[in-house]
Amino acid sequence: MSEHIASVKDYLTVYAILMVLLVATVVAAFVDLGPLNFPFSMAIAVVKAVFIILIFMHVKHNEPLVRVFAVAAFLWLAILIGLSLADYFTRGWLNIPGK
């Protein structure tokens, strides 16, 4: 099995991108975008996660089957977060006395 080692240039590029996205996250925390705050912050987080998965988990230079499982894991995480948010957002729909 041949091992691919990411170059220093790849690591430095991803580091620079992650630092820019970190600044974007901090700026987004101080700017009031109304109802777009959460989607904007989650979009930044997803982009950061994709870069980390591709480079630091070596998915970029791996077999296609590894990429399929990485995408499947990411989709599974999205499903779990979506179901959790659906539960959270619908808790006020029932009129339960004493709550």
CA distance 72 to 80: 12
- What's residue 60's pLDDT? 85
Q: How far apart are CA 48 and CA 16, in angstroms?
A: 11
User: pLDDT of 38-87, one tens digit each?
Assistant: 899 999 999 999 999 888 888 888 889 999 999 999 899 889 999 999 98
CA dist., res. 21 & res. 15, Å (int): 10
Q: Which helix (H) or strand (E) holds 49?
A: helix 37-51
Distance between CA atoms of 34 and 41, rounded to whole angstroms? Answer: 12
CA angle 15, 30, 26 (to 5 degrees): 10
- Global pTM value: 0.72
